[in-house]
A and B are shown apart, each in its own frame.
Chain A
Amino acid sequence: MRSRAAVVACAMSLASVSMQAQSPPDFSGVYRPVNAFGPPPGGRDGGPPPGARAGGPPAPGQTLPPPTRTAPLSDGSRGRAPNAPKLKPEYMAKWQAISKARVAGDSSSDNTAKCLPPGMPAMMNMAYGMEVMQTKDKITFFSELNDALRRVYLDGRKPTQLVLDDPTYAGFSTGHWEGDTLVVDTVALKDNSYIEGFTPHSDKMTVKERIRFLPNGMLEDRITVTDPVALLEPWETVKTYRKADKGDDQLREFACAEGIDHAK
């Protein structure tokens, strides 16, 4: 009798462990990007020297050297990075035309400067911070930059013809769990956004992501972009985010249209 109770207890315990192993991780929280603009040199130069506190005075005897730039160069004048998406000639010509305009100071190619959402997959740079909200049936990714938002449906729904005929900047995303990894497919993307930087794409672009926690606690998004019209081959990139520290875990409203009066 006693041994039977022990067997039952043991079985229940195993079932509990098994259920825990099957429940997906919770990605909810606020995150900051790690190298949002790619590997160095990609950052800005107006910042404080290493170890200095933002907004504080220079340490006694310390003289800050003048900054050498305000932002990374983003006009393509140094060509395309070796790891940039490989474009077919027609799309390379588009990129070159945009680059020429940007070198001349023309901002018209910059969607975010026009308050448009960055779109997928560029929005996953999450340069100003990201908030993830997760339920059993849906994960919502929010970007402070341009108050951009995307939803990943986990309830088994599929993109309908109506969805496919109605492309958007974030696209239509469905996901499922493979162990601890969230696998996401995104379709129905508008063709006037960029893959990264100002790399153009067609309306045939689709995006696949594998999102998981790394052993060090960071969140990783492995992104594969497929576009048989614009790309010579699928393009892969990896974004990494760290959980925001206490006190830094609050995103601010962006309200881009607030600045519209400046345009008059």
Chain B
Amino acid sequence: MTDEELDQRVRAAVLAEQIDAAPLERSISQRIGRRVLPRWALPVAAGIAIFIASGLAYRAVFSPQTPAICLAAAEDHRREIVNGDPRRWLTDLAAIESLAEKQGVPRSAIAALGTTGYRLERARLCFLKKQIFLHLVYTRDGEEFSVYLRPRGSQSPFDGTVREASIGPEDLAYFQTDRLAAVVVSHRGALPFAVKQRLVLQ
């Protein structure tokens, strides 16, 4: 018998043995899993889970949900300002003020933002959740934001407090004054405080 023949027979005999390594693998995985986690890991993980759950529960119970109108405003801003979908806009200030007056939005509200350094660029009417809003677009140094205004209604979801929200990349502020309900949307970070202040004062 040559070395090759002998080796072949030995190999065949040994490899013929059935090896079921699955139970051993499970046992090793369990032992490794136990060793990987330090003793303090489980209580700490449980603590973190409870903390997160409490936070979510608190938010669900005590934080107001972002009104549907705000979601619609963010979507409208993304379509019309960020994506630049073609729309008919009014760019003449007199025409915009006339349109605003017809919608019950005072001229002073439009003029107030002019003092913040932003310039009224264009305006149009739009529907947000079946309600007509005057959509004003202001710009400064290439930065644009949208202001959606309509006369304050009896069932307005807003209140006098300026509330803020982030919906995707859009930052929103929404509130109402004595006369107006307003949603301000920006896609370039938080809205300047001066803008919100000016609007609230109207």
Q: Say whether A associates with B.
A: no
Which residues of B are at the interface with A, using a C-beta cutoff of 8 A? none
